[in-house]
Amino acid sequence: MKNKVIKLIAMGISLAVMTGAFIGCSKNQAAKNNNSGAESKTSSSNWPTKPIQIIVPFNAGGDTDFHARTYAKYLEPILGQSVVVVNVNGSNGSAGTIQVRDSKPDGYTALFFHDSMLMNKVVGVTDFAHEALDVAATGIMDNSYILAVNAKSPYKTLDDLVKAAKANPGKLKYASSIGGYTYYVGAQLEKVAGVSFNKVDAGGGSDRNAALLANKIDTNVNPYGVMKPYIDSGDFRVLAVFSEKRSELFPNVPTAIEQGYNIIARRAYFLSFPKGTDASIIEKMSKAMEEVSKKPEYAKDIAKAYAVEPAFLNTKDTKDYLDKAMKEFMDAKSLIMGK
């Protein structure tokens, strides 16, 4: 009996020691967590204290890359740190998006992308879109989507193209990236005009320009700036701009709406951080982007290169825009997927 009592006492002492150890461990962990939270708060209030990396999910040289690098140039003196643009190409922008999504949410890795992020989810390239990141702000709303043809083609107006498409169902080659935003614009034109194109995947903007120049395709839809060198040289003829009103930067191009085709296309270039980024960092970046958008020299840079104008949207307005755009794309999923 004495032996049992001794064993029970010993067990009680061991349990007490273990409990004390666990409690002590919990207190130490809580203290560490509190210290970590304090450090995080101090870190975010001083942000940025080192260079910021902006991921562009495409190769260098395109419109997204240009806009990101131009923004970076003007953000640096405002934020007081270097802003480095890194290109991560793959899967229509999803490779770079995933890299940012999975990065540490410390405010030093961000993503510069546009509406194609949403389209990737619609067509099944990814199972997420902007909701998987913390959106900061929009810097540009590109309303310059145009439809162009080779200057040697017989099409002088959008009506000419539509009549030819009706006379030759499924024959005229409409260049796009299958499942991309321009594919959606083409599907809208087919629906509104009552025609059927041969929608071909002709690669990115530069590839499509080369194909149109060589008369391997009949039409090319992209933002004006992507085709600007060929328009300026007289190699391409622009038949319509898919905006509510004519652009002040190329006022001689009629809208599709003017010509009886109610189609509007636009693309927001927005910046996002990994989910869980401190709200004060997001707010500071948003304000810095707003400051850039008000600079006359910035407006001059993007007008000259890509025929677009600054159009700042804060965090809330950007989220609202993206939520609305996602609903529009999801509602038109069968149209986008060609079903």
What tens-digit pLDDT sequence spans the chain (339 residues)?
Answer: 444 433 433 444 343 434 444 334 444 444 444 454 545 554 677 999 999 999 999 989 888 999 999 999 999 999 999 999 999 998 888 999 999 999 999 999 999 999 999 999 998 999 999 999 999 999 999 999 999 999 999 999 999 999 999 999 999 999 987 667 888 899 999 999 999 999 998 877 788 999 999 999 999 999 999 999 999 999 999 999 999 999 999 999 999 999 999 999 999 999 999 999 999 999 999 999 999 999 999 999 999 999 998 999 999 999 999 999 999 999 988 887 766
- Identify the CA nearest to 50 among candidates 281, 204, 307: 281
Q: What is the pLDDT of residue 180?
A: 75
Distance separating alpha carbons of residues 148 and 159, to the nearest angstrom = 13
Q: What is the pLDDT of residue 14?
A: 43
Three-class SS state of 148: strand
Q: What is the pLDDT of residue 43?
A: 62
Q: What is the pLDDT of residue 179?
A: 65
- CATH code reported for the domain at 52-142+266-336: 3.40.190.150
Distance separating alpha carbons of residues 33 and 11, to the nearest angstrom = 32
Q: What is the pLDDT of residue 284?
A: 98
Three-class SS state of 126: coil
For residue 273, give the H/E element and its range: strand 267-274
Distance separating alpha carbons of residues 112 and 133, to the nearest angstrom = 12
Q: What is the pLDDT of residue 339?
A: 61
Three-class SS state of 16: helix
Q: What is the pLDDT of residue 295?
A: 97
* Distances from the Cα of 21 to the Cα of 16, 25, 302, angstroms: 8, 6, 63
Distance separating alpha carbons of residues 96 and 55, to the nearest angstrom = 6
> Quick check: 119 and 142 in contact, CB under 8 A?
no
- Identify the CA nearest to 144 among candidates 60, 53, 17, 264: 264
Rounded to 5 degrees, what are φ and ψ at 138? Answer: -105, 135
Distance separating alpha carbons of residues 295 and 33, to the nearest angstrom = 42
CA atoms within 13 Å, Cβ hemisphere of 337: 13
Query: Which class is domain 145-241?
Result: alpha beta
Sign of CA dihedral 111, 114, 115, 117: negative
Distance separating alpha carbons of residues 276 and 320, to the nearest angstrom = 19
Q: What is the pLDDT of residue 178?
A: 66
For 69-90, the DSSP string reads HHHHHHHHHHHTS-EEEEE---
Distance separating alpha carbons of residues 120 and 93, to the nearest angstrom = 8
Give me the count of residues in the chain: 339
Distance separating alpha carbons of residues 230 and 286, to the nearest angstrom = 35
Q: What is the pLDDT of residue 198?
A: 94
Q: What is the pLDDT of residue 24?
A: 42
Indicate the residue type of 242.
Answer: F
Q: What is the pLDDT of residue 29?
A: 45
